Amino acid sequence: MKSPLTDSGEDKPNPSTKPTKISMEKRRKTIPEDTIMEILARLPKKSIARFKSVSKTWNSETESPYFLRRYLSLHPNSSTWSLMFITMPDHPITEAIGFHGGGDTWDLPNSLASYVLPFQPYPNVPTVSNYYVASSNGLIWIEVFLTFHNRRSFVGNPVSKQWVEIPPPPNPCTPTGLVTRVENGVVTSFKVVRTCSSDLDESVWKVYVYSSETGLWTFKQLSSLCPVEGSDPPVNVDGKLYLWEEDTRVEPLWENFDRKEFGFLVAYDFYGDDDHCQVVPLPIPDNKYVRRCLTTSRGDVMYVEILYRRLKVWRLINNADDESELLWELSLGEINLASVGFDVFCFPLAMNPFNDDIVYLWSREHGCVVTGNLQTLEFVVHQESENRSTNGGCCRFNKFDSKRYMDGFRDETSTSVVILSQFVLPPLMDLDHLVPRLPHTRY
């Protein structure tokens, strides 16, 4: 029996008739791909992880740099990160500030630093100590001392508990830094960098570099205008290490340069082909009483200095006329802390990894962490170790343990630079693709 006709003479669709695969495909194609990606970018992380398995197209699109940028713009507080003091002989790894993003895929019940140590790679073998060395894009490098003369190196993610053991270098050398390569939101490789002992040739930085792609160590001699000791922890961005160095040469590098009052930033791209380091002086302070820190935010290297209650934030940029040259750009105008009602003695600690309007300071007067908003000029003193809820997440401030480290900066004439390590869990990274596999190596 034929179905009734409409006024136009066409058959009414039968609701009991199941749509064919062709008709469903036609309907799906009526929705533009950019609209689909816009919808997906607004979903929680767990939903995005499920949709990645729907099709190869969606999997590829949700791993694209564009999608990641769009997701982060819509979910600015979605990442989980930690700012940590590096391991010292008399202090274990300590989290100064930790942020747990709202709706995080990782669902961490504890602070991020609590997953780093204790680390026990050999359950039946006791260890003397563990040293946190560096971090990059969700991976960390830990040195494990089985005895005082027997150490092992591991790179991995403490949350997913995926680790690979790194073979020892051909010759003894100092741990320096860790760099990674990221493609479509996935860490495809990492490199471990160790600095060799310095010799009479001050213009060469000698390093051993271990690559996860080859599973081998490579010896490199990098030319640098400034001697590199590699003793201070570097910061890393996009495969580059940035090291703060003092000029220890007998003759000054440039005319009218007083090496005692400021140093240099030495940068090298360990995924590049050039063997020349970039060298740029830190912004020249007015005198030796400046307090400063080296950090990163939104993928840029940042330098923060405080002198006589005046706060300045500098951003490292490439020279538009010569990309091989690095320059410092004043991010904002000078902020007089006394004029905004915050006339206290502070050290800069770091900046928020994802918000370059937020700076973290250490108040010697209060003995605790201070959060400063560079746009609103609002400064908040965190008197006790606390968990502070913010839009979309929870921030944890560790007063007691941080104080033990900052007590080492009591000398007001110190020209040291505070450098906290950033351990950031990638916002949308697949748990199964956190640690690149080494050639002929098992987890």
Selection from 28-42, 323-337, 387-401 with the highest mean pLDDT? 323-337
Whole-number pLDDT of residue 417: 81
User: Is 313 buried (19+), middle (13-18) or exposed (0-12) by CB count in 10 A?
Assistant: buried
- Where does the pLDDT of residue 9 fall: very low under 50, low under 70, confident under 90, or very high at 90 and above? very low
Listed in sequence order, the residues at least 6 apart from 144 whose beta carbon sits closer than 8 Å to its beta carbon are: 119, 121, 127, 130, 131, 151, 152, 153, 154
Which of 11-20, 82-91, 285-294, 356-365 comes out lowest in average pLDDT?
11-20
Q: Which amino acid is at 130?
A: N
Whole-number pLDDT of residue 31: 78
Task: State the average pLDDT over residues 139-161.
Answer: 87
- Where does the pLDDT of residue 269 fall: very low under 50, low under 70, confident under 90, or very high at 90 and above? very high
Whole-number pLDDT of residue 258: 47
Q: Tell me the whole-structure pTM to 2 decimals.
A: 0.81
DSSP codes, 239-276: TEEEEEE----SS-SSTT--TTT--EEEEEETTSS--B
Helix and strand numbers, DSSP H then E, in the chain? 6, 27
Residue 236 pLDDT more than 90? yes
| Of residues 302 and 34, more confidently modeled | 302
Selection from 191-195, 288-292, 401-405 with the highest mean pLDDT? 191-195
| Of residues 10 and 225, more confidently modeled | 225
- Where does the pLDDT of residue 294 fall: very low under 50, low under 70, confident under 90, or very high at 90 and above? very high
Whole-number pLDDT of residue 234: 92
Whole-number pLDDT of residue 200: 60
CB 424 within 8 A of CB 76: no
Beta-carbon neighbour count of residue 199 at 10 Å? 8
Q: What is the rounded distance in angstroms from the CA atom of residue 111 to the CA atom of residue 134?
A: 18
CB 361 within 8 A of CB 347: yes
Tokens (6 digits) for 305? 């200095």
Residue 3 pLDDT more than 50? no
Residue 169 pLDDT more than 90? yes
- Where does the pLDDT of residue 440 fall: very low under 50, low under 70, confident under 90, or very high at 90 and above? low
- Which residue matches tokens 């040293």? 131
Per residue in 124-134, pLDDT (tens digit) is 777 777 888 99
